[in-house]
Chains A and B, each alone.
Chain A
Amino acid sequence: MKSEAPKDSPSAPGPPDAEASPAVFDRRALLERTLQDGDLALAMIEGLLGELPHQIDTLRLEVQSRRAQSVAQLAHKIRGACLAVCAPAMVTIATEIEALAPLAQWPAMTGLLSRLEHESTRLMAALARELKPGPDSALMP
């Protein structure tokens, strides 16, 4: 009997056109969270896609500059945004960064930042697919 490895763990890269796993983006949870309002879900996704790249860039600079308070604030903000759109893998990593920042554990933080950057790429790809009409999106009218 074969045991199949998980196809889409938070740290494993997947093919760019693959359906996102709920760990990356949980579309069903987002629709529940918006009371089944697809337009609201899309507006939230557009908001996140507009802000997340800049937030990640800024976070990288703040980690490099070892500004603990700013790192914690940014990680908190990223966590909140990813919580809102139901992206649990990003929430987990951002939560870890937020917790480590006051402890000034910079080597660990650098590793987490790499994971966050990787995961944000997967998330943004998954969210961008939601904005395109087609079989991949259940949100587009």
Chain B
Amino acid sequence: MKTVIVDDDLTSRRWLVGVVRKLGFHVVAEAANGHEGVLVVTRTQPDLVLLDVSMPVRTGPECLPEIIAAHPAASVVMLTSIADEGTVVECLDKGAVGYLRKDSPVETITQFLVQLRAQSSTPRSPGGSHVQP
């Protein structure tokens, strides 16, 4: 599964890259803010985008519509470190397929991603479906 990781924090990015690679995902690009995120998604056309909510330059929710417009087939999962229900609901309404709290146990995160990959290999139902951790 071609994956792009968009997160302003280098340490978190390294962690996410390492974990998703262990699951057999192929990380094709990383970005440190929403603006870069839109550019790399447009260029790489990934299957999965892990998109941090809180970032400088442009936040995840701000660039989410552009990312989806640039590559509608991509599954976009929001990354958040706090239970920001308002932001999560907003992003799901805008087309994100799910969200991950970065402070979740790693097993929760890996199970979520494996489930998402399984869902992605089947045709999407009208209106989409959301994966929750």
A interface residues, Cβ below 8 angstroms from B: 32-35, 37, 40, 43-44, 47-48, 50-51, 73, 76-77, 79-81, 83-85
Contact = CB atoms under 8 A, between A and B. Distances in A.
Interface residues of B, number: 18
Given A76-B54, A80-B81, A83-B81, A37 B11 contact: no
B102 interface: yes
Contacts of B12: 80-81, 83-84
Interface of B: 7-12, 14-15, 18-19, 22, 54, 56, 81, 102-103, 106, 110
B24 to A, nearest CB: 13
Given A80-B81, A83-B103, A84-B102, A35 B19 contact: yes
A48 B10 CA distance: 8
A51 to B, nearest CB: 6
A43 B14 CA distance: 7
Main secondary structure of the interface of B (DSSP, over half): helix
A37 B54 contact: no
A40 B11 CA distance: 10
A37 B22 contact: yes
13 contacts: A32-B106, A33-B106, A35-B18, A35-B19, A35-B106, A40-B15, A44-B18, A51-B11, A73-B54, A79-B81, A81-B9, A81-B12, A85-B11
